[in-house]
Amino acid sequence: MKTFKILLAFVVAFGLIIGMGACQKQQQEPQPAAQEQAADEQAVPVRTLVVATDATWPPMEMVDQDKNIVGFDIDFLNAVAQEAGFNVEFKNTAWDGIFGGLDLGNYDAVISSVTITDERKKTYDFSLPYINAGQVLTIPVGVEGVTTLADMKGKAVGAQIGTTGAMEVKKIEGVEAKNYDEIGLAFEDMAAGRIQGVVCDTPVAADYALQRAEYKEKFKIVGEPFTEESYGIVVKKGNQELLDLINKGIQAVQAKGIDKELEDKWLR
């Protein structure tokens, strides 16, 4: 009987030791559900910026056949968002009310081929410049040896009247300046052989020379923009936190050369 009692006590003691060890292990190792809950508590929600764009300015921003907003600006800001860690929701907005909507807080920012000017900077804050949309020269595809406007001496070059492009053409001695009420008329004349070049904003040149079915096999853009007309993303005056976030993404995109890849896709 004594031996039985001793054996029983030993079994009970051994069971207590195992139970205490299991309890301690359970306390040290969180259950999967507890681990998932802890991870959820630490996760930070990704910020979504609502951004207005007037999608009527190809190839910078436009609506495709599937009703999606596409273009250089759209791809660029999506790349900026990925690098800076936020999402973007684009809102197609008419140009005449786009800045008023920003003032009212209908969206967080505007990206819509907006040229950075001293006058606009009095009212709004701009991101870092993300593209030079200055004047470029477009010529027929068969013409060789032309890289600058100065190479067009002895030839007729068209531009829209009253624009920076028209002013630049007039600066070059020996080039015959032809002015048009609408830039499309200049491209029509070049297609007909009545002029030998057209000067206009980079996005406009890209639209006619690269995007339009009737012209994309006929024209080419040569050289680089020869005026500085930089585009920027617009935010409310004083919204430094948002501006810093956007600029962080722009710097990363430019450092990786993503902006140049997008220029090749949409503007070259």
Instruction: Find how far residue 16's CA is from the centre of its chain.
Output: 66
The per-residue pLDDT for 82 is 98
Domain 135-222 homologous superfamily, CATH? Periplasmic binding protein-like II (3.40.190.10)
Domain range summary for the chain, segments of one domain joined by + = 47-132+231-266, 135-222
Higher model confidence: residue 190 or residue 24?
190
For the cut 90, the answer to whether the pLDDT of residue 112 exceeds it is: yes
Region 47-132+231-266: CATH code: 3.40.190.10
pLDDT in tens, 212-231: 999 989 999 999 999 999 99
Mean pLDDT of the region 184-198: 97
How high is the mean pLDDT of the chain?
87
pLDDT in tens, 134-173: 999 999 999 999 999 999 999 999 999 988 899 999 999 9
The per-residue pLDDT for 36 is 53
The per-residue pLDDT for 220 is 95
The per-residue pLDDT for 43 is 58
pLDDT in tens, 26-76: 444 555 554 555 454 455 678 999 999 999 999 999 999 999 999 999 999
Q: Do domains 47-132+231-266 and 135-222 have the same CATH topology?
A: yes
CA distances from 137 to 73, 142, 158, 173, 217 (A): 22, 14, 10, 16, 16
The per-residue pLDDT for 32 is 55
Burial pattern 36-69, b for ≥16 Cβ within 10 A else e, equals eeeeeeeeeeeeebebbbbbebbbbbbeeeeeee
For 259, other C-beta atoms within 10 Å of its C-beta total 19
